[in-house]
């Protein structure tokens, strides 16, 4: 597959047996929401609002958050959090395509007692969404752009007393790095299209 297409995405996710990650007391889930756009398949990214107690404050990511006791599953967590953060009702407007491997969270360079489960959805009908109090802005970026090697660039981050260079994607005025970069890279590798 030379470019991302719906059949290839569906086949790759159907053939993938996700790897659970143990060892954490807390669980979270995110939604990688895809839709048909003018430039082909697009992926939803959000910019988180600035909050003093949020270790990912102001960063670009996927809608999602921590599991609550009333969530019947991690998929339900991803659906609930997406509705809260973006106003998009995945239960009504989308179809689950599959899930990616879970990963252990890190914040500010340190491990966090949290495992994140990424779920991939395809919007079945138009839904632009709107930012909430937790989200500053929503961004639909073409997969073709995110998969283009030209958008890869190192990001210099201050960690303790050193400057660390981390991999990132720079597209649409956004810098995608850290956990979001790892999840996107996992998705691209599954499709055989890693940037």
CATH no. for residue 105? 3.90.79.10
Of 167 and 52, the one with more pLDDT: 167
In a domain, 172, yes or no: yes
In a domain, 195, yes or no: no
In a domain, 134, yes or no: yes
Residue 97: which of 78, 113, 112 has the closest Cα?
Answer: 78
Q: Which of 17-26, 50-59, 65-74, 151-160 has the lowest mean pLDDT?
A: 50-59
DSSP state of 151: G
Concatenate the DSSP letters of all residues of 15-68 into one string. H--PPP--S-SEEEEEEEEEEEETTEEEEEEEEEPP-TT-TTTT-EE-SEEE--
In a domain, 105, yes or no: yes
In a domain, 86, yes or no: yes
In a domain, 1, yes or no: no
Q: What is the pLDDT of residue 159?
A: 65
Across the range 108-120, mean pLDDT stands at 85
What are the residues facing 45 on neighbouring strands? 139
What domain range is 99 assigned to? 6-190
Confidence at 1, pLDDT banded by 50, 70, 90? very low
In a domain, 178, yes or no: yes
Three-state SS for 140?
Answer: strand
What are the residues facing 115 on neighbouring strands? 27, 104
Parallel, antiparallel, or unpaired for β 26-37 and 110-123? parallel
In a domain, 185, yes or no: yes
Give the dihedral of Cα atoms 73, 43, 87, 79; nearest 10 deg.
-10
pTM: 0.91
Considering its fold, how many domains does the chain have in total? 1
């Amino acid at each position: 597959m030379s470019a991302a297409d719906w059949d290839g995405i569906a086949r790759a996710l159907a053939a993938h047996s996700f790897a659970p990650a143990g060892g954490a007391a807390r669980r979270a889930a995110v939604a990688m929401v895809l839709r048909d756009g003018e430039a082909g398949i697009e992926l939803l990214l959000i910019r988180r609002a600035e909050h003093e107690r949020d270790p990912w404050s102001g960063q670009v990511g996927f809608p999602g958050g921590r599991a609550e006791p009333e969530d019947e599953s991690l998929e339900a967590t991803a659906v609930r959090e997406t509705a809260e953060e973006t106003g998009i009702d995945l239960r009504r407007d989308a179809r689950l395509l599959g899930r990616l491997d879970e990963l252990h969270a890190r914040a500010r360079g340190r491990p966090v007692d949290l495992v994140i489960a990424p779920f991939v959805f395809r919007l079945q009908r138009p839904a632009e969404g709107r930012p909430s109090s937790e989200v500053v802005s929503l961004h639909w970026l073409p997969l073709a752009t995110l998969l283009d090697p030209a958008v890869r660039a190192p990001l210099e981050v201050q960690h303790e007393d050193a400057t660390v260079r981390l991999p990132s994607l720079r597209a649409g005025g956004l810098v995608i790095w850290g956990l979001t970069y790892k999840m996107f890279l996992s998705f691209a590798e599954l499709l055989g299209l890693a940037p």
